[in-house]
Structure 1
Amino acid sequence: MLTSLLAALSLVGVGTALAQDSLSQASIQAQQTQAALQQRIDDADDATREALQQLRQANQQADRLESYNAELAPIVDNQAKRIASEKQALTQINVTREALPGELRDMVEQLRAMIGADMPFLRDERLARVDDLEQMLSSDDASQADKLQRIFSAWRAELAYGREMDQWSGPLEGAQSDAASQGSQLAREVDYLRVGRTGWYYVTPNDRAGGVWSVANDEWEALNGDQISEVRRGIRIAQDQSAPALLHLPASLVVEDGQSAAEGQS
């Protein structure tokens, strides 16, 4: 009987030990499961924090890009306007390039017409310049830019005649009126004085005769002795041999009231 009781108690102890061991295993598994779950939660938290950090960085970068784009907007707009303007300029250049040969010829023709309508001082020299321009236009040796430059240079030379005082010696040019002779034989070589395009004069080397070119009559008109002296004084001024001074001379041009100007200026 005692043996049976001891065996029963022994079985109960074994069962209790097995139960405790089973509970211990379950507890370990639960702890492991909880640890794994916590690790997953921690990993998820880390991923979330990293994602949030990336999102913040992306937002900051987007803000910077938006600010940069705002700064670039007027620059891009100006560049677009400049490109459009340059395209238009290129179109105009093409149109101008096509029209330029005709324009150059018109400029040369106008220059020749102006010389023909002007007082005939140095006419051969001035017309020779125009002849050279016409020959240049008929040649392909020079570029359009060079042709334009030479034509502008010729025009500047012509315009300068209206602002300069000049003197030179040479054969008597233009028609000679009977009054210019004054009963004496004019020397072949005379001394000229030009005051802009206001007055053109000549005197003989011996100062015995002189004339003023009349634009209205297209001929020389005689000067008296005092006027000849004034022309000679003007020649010395043009040669820098005398100080600038007022010259009392008749003008080659006629003013609107039909009266000749009383004097020219050096």
Structure 2
Amino acid sequence: MVQNKKALLFAVALGMIFMAPAGAAENQKKLKAAVNVQESAEKAAAVSQKKIDSIADQAERMLTEYKLIMRQYDALKGYNDQVARIVKAQNEELSTIDQQLLEIDTTNQGVIPLMGRMVDTLDKFVALDVPFLPDERSKRIEELKTLLDRADVTVSEKYRRIMEAYQVEMEYGRTIEAYTAELAEAGKKRSVDYLRIGRMTLMYQTLDKKETAVWDNEKRAWQVLGEEYRKPIMLGLRIARKQAPPDLIKLPVSAPEKAQ
């Protein structure tokens, strides 16, 4: 387009030269001035176009940066919203935990004394019960008493151990057992075979089979039995040790007392 303008101006200039030869010099000056003006305008237009192109490029870069920033903003906003929800949920959970801790403290105030009473009750029960496995049962109770005073053991673990001890004592009531242990009488100790039938009866028989006795829990003493119980108790010991099949045997059993 610039070249067309130049050609047009050149044609006009030539026409003016041919049409007015007398003023040729003056016309040449005018033509030159016109050409200079046109060149200056073209240069100014080129400079303006460069500025426009630079501004356009800058605007394009700014638009690209804006879009990138907006994407980053959306991502950060989504992340911040999620974090805010997590923090809110954690705060609610902390409030719940604080409430549970308060409830646990209140519960502990009642549970800890209760556990102490449970151990004392178990201790008294064992002392009044048929005296089988005295060392094992006394040791279990002493361990529980020591456990109650330990700060490094949780309340739940203490309670579990106490209930476990009660469960063991309950199992004694529905099992039979034979074991060999020492019998202390009149300041003397001797090894005998014990036979326990639940909690109904506890008997012993000397290793030479010459003496058989049954525990009288009311008198808290051993009662020597007659010869008729020697073989039945021998068989009972074998059955308890799974050395003989189950069978009916004649054993001394205390009559049940009427509940008061």
Q: TM-score range by the shorter chain?
A: 0.5 to 0.7
Aligned partners of 2:108 and 2:155 also within 8 Å: no
| Matches of 1:90 and 1:233, distance apart in 2 | 58
Q: Point out which structure has higher relative CO (alpha carbons under 8 A, 6+ apart).
A: 1
Residues 156-214 of structure 1: CA distance to partner in whole angstroms, max 9, x if unpaired?
A: 466435356232343378xxxxxxxxxxxxx9765321234354223355355432656
Query: Cα RMSD over matched residues?
Result: 5.0
- Unmatched 5+ stretches in structure 2: 1-19
The answer to whether 1:206 aligns with 2:218 is: no
1:245 aligned partner, one-letter code? P
* Correspondence list, 1:29-178, <5 A: 29-62=40-73, 64-65=75-76, 102=113, 105-123=116-134, 126-127=137-138, 130=141, 134=145, 136=146, 143-145=151-153, 156=164, 159-161=167-169, 162-163=171-172, 165-171=177-183
Residues 105-152 of structure 1: CA distance to partner in whole angstroms, max 9, x if unpaired?
A: 434323312313432334466446645765x4798xx65429997997
Q: Give the TM-score of the pair, scaled to structure 1.
A: 0.57
Q: Give the TM-score of the pair, scaled to structure 2.
A: 0.58
Q: Report sequence identity in percent.
A: 25
* Count of aligned positions: 231
How far did 1:252 drift? 5.8
Name the structure where helix makes up a greater proportion of residues.
2
- Local SS of the residue matching 2:232: helix
How far did 1:55 drift? 3.1
* Correspondence list, 1:169-248, <5 A: 169-171=181-183, 190-204=192-206, 205-207=208-210, 209-211=212-214, 213=216, 227-239=229-241, 242-248=243-249
